[in-house]
Amino acid sequence: MKILLLFILYAIALSASLARAGFRSRVKASPRISQKRPTRLLIVGATGGTGRQLVAQALERGYTVTALVRNPAKLKIEHSQLTVIQGDVLEYDSVEAAMRGQEAVLCALGHKRYFYPTRILSEGTQNILRAMETHGVQRLVCETSLGIGNSAGRMGLYYTLFVIPLILPFYFWDKARQEKLIAASEVEWVIVRPGVLTNRAKRGTYRHGPNVGNFIWTVNISRSDVAEFMLDQVTNDTYLRTATGVC
């Protein structure tokens, strides 16, 4: 009983510190369409679940796409408007090479090193931001997660009290660092925080905004819907320089 109580206190304390560590929106978003129309996109994390959806949907929308991937064989998409660059987001030179000539960046970086302290997300994002500033690339749309900053607790009780404190504390700390770096940057950025990801087909309907999510029930969304929403943020200023949940 004592151990359970201690664990619940730890989970609440972790959630509170993730709330402080991540980005906290202060401004209310109002619907705005951007005047800019980028045509060339760099997609980081393109071989992942969300990343593959980003590549496929960006090509469908007519963008010229560059995918930065560690293993090109994993991408399994061929298209005349798609360039695949082999590289590692942790190696600045490969990020810079991929950044040349781009107009916007979509980042769906993730990994499975749940049980070790890691800085893959924050260091990778630092390299992306540095290369964007070097090449004058303005817009970054980055996928993080509900549960950070002012969305702490919004993944639902199961994630807040069990999954995040027990399995994902290092991962979420790094995500909080990643958000802080983005928020402190000079680029035009949008942080997209999804609920639990599924591989279901695209529905095209989802809720978004700083207050989505649920403090009790687990909320989810398909990776294809997240990709659609992220691509919308390339030409939409509604959530510019803010973080929005989507589920």
Ligand X SMILES: NC(=O)c1ccc[n+]([C@@H]2O[C@H](COP(=O)([O-])OP(=O)(O)OC[C@H]3O[C@@H](n4cnc5c(N)ncnc54)[C@H](OP(=O)(O)O)[C@@H]3O)[C@@H](O)[C@H]2O)c1
Q: Which of 29, 82, 98, 120 binds ligand X (CB under 6 A)?
A: 120
Contact flag: residue 223 with ligand X (CB under 6 A) = yes
Which H or E run includes 164?
Answer: helix 164-166
Contact flag: residue 58 with ligand X (CB under 6 A) = no
Q: Count CB atoms within 10 A of the CB of residue 145.
A: 28
Contact flag: residue 194 with ligand X (CB under 6 A) = yes
Residue 70, both tokens: 């560690």
* Beta strands per DSSP E along 120-229: 139-143, 188-194, 196-198, 208-209, 220-222
Least Å from the CB of residue 36 to ligand X: 25
Q: Which of 89, 129, 164, 182 binds ligand X (CB under 6 A)?
A: 89
- Tokens 């027990």 belong to residue: 166
Q: Which of 22, 110, 156, 210 binds ligand X (CB under 6 A)?
A: 110
Contact flag: residue 196 with ligand X (CB under 6 A) = yes
Residue 165's closest CA among 48, 59, 9? 9
Q: Which of 20, 111, 113, 203 binds ligand X (CB under 6 A)?
A: 111
Contact flag: residue 30 with ligand X (CB under 6 A) = no
Contact flag: residue 108 with ligand X (CB under 6 A) = yes
For residue 21, the Cα-to-chain-centroid distance in whole angstroms is 16
- d(CA 83, CA 64) in angstroms, rounded, equals 8
Contact flag: residue 56 with ligand X (CB under 6 A) = no
Q: Which is nearer to ligand X, 120 or 176 (CB)?
A: 120
Q: Which of 11, 23, 106, 143 binds ligand X (CB under 6 A)?
A: 143
CA angle 90–95–230, rounded 5-degree value: 95
Q: Which is nearer to ligand X, 32 or 70 (CB)?
A: 70
Contact flag: residue 19 with ligand X (CB under 6 A) = no
In sequence order, what are the residues at sequence separation of 6 or more whose Cβ sits closer than 8 angstroms to the Cβ of residue 60? none
* Binding footprint of ligand X on the chain (CB under 6 A): 45-51, 70-71, 74, 88-90, 108-111, 120, 124, 143, 145, 194, 196-197, 223
